Amino acid sequence: MMSGQMPILILKEGTRREQGKDAQRGNIEAAKSIADSIRTTLGPKGMDKMLVDSIGDIVISNDGATILKEMDVDHPTAKMIVEVAKSQDTSVGDGTTTAVILAGEFLKQAETLLDQGVHSTVIANGYRLAMNEARKIIDSSAKTASDDATLRKIATTALAGKNTGSSYDFLADLVVKAVNAVAEERNGKITVDHSNIKVDKKNGGNVTDTQLIEGLVVDKERVHPKMPVTVKNAKIALIDSALEIKKTEIEAKVQITDPNKIQDFLGQESETFKNMVEKIKKSGANVLMAQKGIEDLAQHYLAKEGIYAVRRVKKSDMEKLAKATGGKIVTNLDDLTKESLGKAEKVEEKKIGDDRMTFITGCANPKAVNILIRGATDHVVSEIERSLNDAIRVVALTKEDGKYLYGGGAIESEISLKTRAFANTIGGREQLAIDAFAKALEIIPRTLSENAGMDPINTLIRLKSEHEKGKQSAGISVNENSVGDMAAAGVFDPIRVKKHALESAIEVATMILRIDDVIASKKSSSSESPGGAGGMGGGMGGMGGMPPY
């Protein structure tokens, strides 16, 4: 090289870049900060977080997915951890906090190995070997969910970890009844479409006023005051077209020159609506649910015939009504027949809080049902809604899979014990990574005990001792502040939730470990300001103490 030669610049001067160990440390710190931020929410005695936005609106929750979704996260690696929570929530509906805590702990244990000179690729390989062994342990440890009592325990476990007060037994019963109602058997296999369970919320009353409706609640009132308030033995017409005179596609003008013809024109319009209502009446319908509008004149004739009518019903509600009542959605009134009508014991208008709603109840074998949540304030009903949605998902998964695992940190302790034994059979440095995997799993029982105010070290020692004696169901009994039998306590988790949480955590941890260079991309540097949301600066919004990027 000639003396005095200028260095070759590949990246623009001032481009932000972190390489090697600095990049790895920064990424691991970001992941650990996210995990630490929600650790205190884990378990029945976990704390809540209050999230306040720029205009002062607040969300109070201890649901991991909700907290991370509402947090203003800017660090690129922190965003990857948030994606783990989103993936867990979308796929299985629960276990979001567990997945994020595990991801943070896998990276924390990997950091120790990196300090000892173990290469990140070796750690990633060891983690994958440990994960394969963990899947086998989970499958061999799974128990059969054979009855509704087990499903209730699954629901209770999910709800006990949320902010539902002391009402989780009552709510769990509603959840199991709802899931059983919409469960269907196809090709010898049970499937549950949780979207067929509609969850509505209305503040006012107590949590125990929450009710399961074997049918549906439509957040609409009857369109005319002279229509009946209650219709028993309801025959329901489901129409997805408008009871209105269609407008022409091009602008048109009707010009009447003879005053005598005005009455003829109005009479023809009236006759059109009268014919529409006559077709509805002829089918035997005494209730009409319309997805689109109902003209005033049509409302008058419907009221005259004693037909209860609701307009502008959401498409999703129309589909659920069809499943709940056994009716068919009809577009053309000429196709409306007795066979296409849905059936319910009662359709009535009720005032709930400040709103009037239509209750369709007493449906025979409904394949869509409704849970109406009540509570003192908006914050209470919103948190119960999130909790119920999680519980519905986990009970639906257990109903489909027919398998569950012991909760309270029991399965994590069992996997930790057995993967340590597995590590001894593996040669090379991967053994160290498998040991790190086993140690990382202890974060779940440790966190449960910390959040319950227990001594984590003594608790973990006793828990390990119980599992070494072969007691697979030993876990953290937060109500008794000791190590207890999760089988007797009825603390159960769905197998799919635990598997997905572990797999997601390992995938994101190994991906982050393999990153050794963080460079500001051309797209972000040209289209965003250096400290903006698209840039690499600013650390993690709202999470003080985050190292700036």
Please state, as a whole number, how many other Cβ atoms lie within 10 Å of the Cβ of residue 97. 28
State the catalytic residue, choosing from 63, 74, 94, 317: 63
Residue-wise burial string across 429-468, b where 16 or more C-beta atoms lie within 10 A, e elsewhere: bbbbbbbbbbbbbbbbbbbbbbbbebebeebbeebbebbe
Please state, as a whole number, how many other Cβ atoms lie within 10 Å of the Cβ of residue 373. 24
- For residue 492, what are the β-bridge partners? 406
State the catalytic residue, choosing from 96, 98, 164, 459: 96
State the catalytic residue, choosing from 74, 89, 390, 435: 390
Is 258 known to be catalytic?
A: no
Query: What are phi and psi for residue 163, nearest 5 degrees?
Result: -90, 70
Q: What's the alpha-carbon Rg for the chain, to the nearest Å?
A: 30
Tokens, residue 87: 């993936």
Please state, as a whole number, how many other Cβ atoms lie within 10 Å of the Cβ of residue 329. 18
Q: Do residues 407 and 475 lie in contact, with contact meaning Cβ atoms separated by under 8 Å?
A: yes
State the catalytic residue, choosing from 41, 66, 77, 97: 97
Tokens, residue 500: 């997905």
- For residue 51, what are the β-bridge partners? 59
Tokens, residue 99: 């997945």
Is 96 known to be catalytic?
A: yes
Burial (0-12, 13-18, 19+ Cβ within 10 Å), 262: exposed
Nearest to 48 by CA among 34, 37, 35: 37
Burial (0-12, 13-18, 19+ Cβ within 10 Å), 104: buried
d(CA 70, CA 450): 25
d(CA 394, CA 88): 12
Return the axis-axis angle of helices 410-423 and 443-451, rounded to nearest 10°: 150
Is 63 known to be catalytic?
A: yes
- Hey, is 262 helix, strand or coil? helix
d(CA 349, CA 346): 10
Tokens, residue 46: 């976990």
Return the axis-axis angle of helices 20-39 and 96-115, rounded to nearest 10°: 150
d(CA 477, CA 488): 11
- Tell me the catalytic residues: 63, 96-97, 390
